[in-house]
Structures are given as C-alpha cells and as structure tokens.
Amino acid sequence: MLRLTVRVPWKRAASTLVVVAYVVGGLTLLLWPQHVDPWFGLDETAPATAPLRWLGVPQSQWWTIIEIGSNVALFVPFGFALALVLTRRPVVRTVLAGLATSVAFELLQAVLPIDRTPSVGDVVANTCGAALGALLGVGVVRWTRRSTM
C-alpha cells in the first residue's frame, strides 16, 4: 500500500485556515442583507461608548469613531493571519490583499440587491487594519525566531 504524506507546518496550516474562515465570516457580515448599525444601539449605556464618554468625545461623533474603529479591527486578524502565511514581502502583499478584499466587498455591496452602503472610507479603514495586522504578524514571526535561537 502506497501512502502519500504531505507535511505542512502547523503554523502555516492554522494561519491558512484562519484566513479562509475569516473571509467566509467577513463575507457573511459584510454582505448581510441589511445594515448592521442598529444592532449596536449607541446610547449612554452602551459598553462601547464608555471610553468615548470618559475621553469627553461628543455624542455626535460616537458613531463615526466606532465605525472607523470597527472597520480597522475587522481586518486586523485578516492581516495578521495572512502575514504569517506569506513568506516573501508579507507586509506589502498583505496590504494589497486587504485592499483588494475590501474593494471586492464594497463592490459587492454596491451591486447586489441588499440594503448596504458601500464606502471608500471603509476601504481605507479596512486596508489600515490589514496593514496593522500584517505588522503585528511580522513582529510575532521575528520575535519567535529570535526567542528560539
């Protein structure tokens, strides 16, 4: 009996799985047939607004800050996992992949018959999140290489 064994480093396999799961989850969230904004209920009692209240941010600016922050945060895991998978020029390639993925999501929101509003601001924030995740991923890789030497 002939056995074919393919060895894939567990970190690369796990990172690839995270990227795939993340894209599927992201598509689900980003292509949801209605706006997800009302789910957050940004009033004086919402936990997400506590830091904004503490910093003295006017309530009229809460949604903008939370929207930008959540769009950045949405792509940080994507950038982190992809940077772990890519071996050559991981930051540049991850930022470009984040940009392309975000543009694709926003274009789908524009052309599909769903109640979603595409935004260039979302593309910028998502790309920044991918860049931040890539930098974190590369930092972790370098740190783990140093600590194992």
Tell me: the pLDDT tens digits for 100-140? Answer: 999 998 998 889 887 778 899 999 999 999 999 999 999 98
**78 or 12, higher pLDDT:** 78
Q: What is the pLDDT of residue 39?
A: 52
**Which residues lie below 8 Å from residue 111, measured CB to CB, with a gap of 6+?**
none
Task: With CA atoms as reference, report the closest residue to 114 among 36, 35, 40, 39.
Answer: 35
CA atoms within 13 A of residue 67's CA, in its CB half-sphere: 17
pLDDT-based confidence at 13, cuts 50/70/90? confident
Tell me: the pLDDT tens digits for 65-81? Answer: 888 998 999 899 999 98
Distance CA 37, CA 116 (A): 10
Q: What is the pLDDT of residue 66?
A: 82
* Listed ranges 22-26, 97-101, 111-115; the one with the highest mean pLDDT: 97-101
Q: What is the pTM of this model?
A: 0.76
Task: With CA atoms as reference, report the closest residue to 145 among 77, 87, 82.
Answer: 87
Torsion of CA 124, 126, 131, 133, to 10 degrees: 160
